[in-house]
Homo-oligomer: A and B are copies of this chain.
């Protein structure tokens, strides 16, 4: 039986599980709901249950599984395997996840930030294969990021590297929940694009997007994308501003890291070329003229599986370092 590593992607709604061979083939996958009340013990029990069910259905014994990797939203002490808090799951303060899950399933467990894990997944098995350096931007409710430098996940000195959603792209700009002003996330996340459209409609803007808000009482990025395709001027303006600031961030990423690729992932990247084309066009226009742009802006190849594949790949990486 070929050895496997187990990848677990811990999200606010679902826990995803997957098995990865050393030659980077994804075997079985499984998805379970995150226990709605949260709590470290219940979350770990659900993880252990899913891990055992997936191993069983794949006909794997414990000795066939080399290690498990867990991708989780921060903040965490990754070296110690401890989750310090989770914004979307309650009762997850100071949870020694790596140790407890290891005791429950009997294999070594490595904890990694979820966006870092997704970046490592794209690096090993997705849009980043062949790259030495890459940045993944996850565009959803917020803007997250993971960075790979010379094949390794960049953590920084205080586990706070790769927070590009809070790069200041407009000094003195819109206030962000983090306490800064003008963060990338305030212009280019799904929630903030919808919020900006809503404010502009309330200030008197009309059109197809305004009609959607009047009919449904709410707006999301899907509405912006759909009405933009149909020619709505407000939707085009909001979408374009999101793409513009993403491109500013991409130029700045090049000036610091000079990666092979910047990969757009997360819900908004589901728009495909509707997102990629305007970001790439702004990027080419904003980029210096000293050299042509050599960093490629690309879409995620693994989509929603990047996290679980990356978590398993992180486990493989850790097992080889021992």
Contacts and interface: CB of A to CB of B under 8 A. Distances in A.
A157 B248 contact: no
A287 to B, nearest CB: 7
Contacts of A169: 168, 171
A133 B156 contact: yes
A109 B304 CA distance: 48
A239 to B, nearest CB: 17
State the oligomeric state as a number of copies.
2
- Which of A147, A156, A180, A255 gathers most chain B CB within 10 Å? A255
A13 interface: no
A257 B156 contact: yes
A104 interface: no
B257 A161 contact: yes
A152 B154 contact: no
Give the secondary structure class of A's interface.
loop
Given A150-B152, A171-B170, A160 B286 contact: no
A60 interface: no
Contacts of A171: 169-170, 244-245, 248, 286
Contacts of A253: 256
Given A157-B133, A248-B171, A251-B180, A256 B291 contact: no
Given A169-B171, A171-B170, A171-B248, A255 B157 contact: no
Interface residues of A, number: 50
Nearest to A161: B258
A307 B152 CA distance: 28
A242 to B, nearest CB: 13
A158 B133 CA distance: 10
Contact of A258 (B156, B254, B289): B156
A37 interface: no
A233 interface: no
Contact of A287 (B132, B161, B180): B180
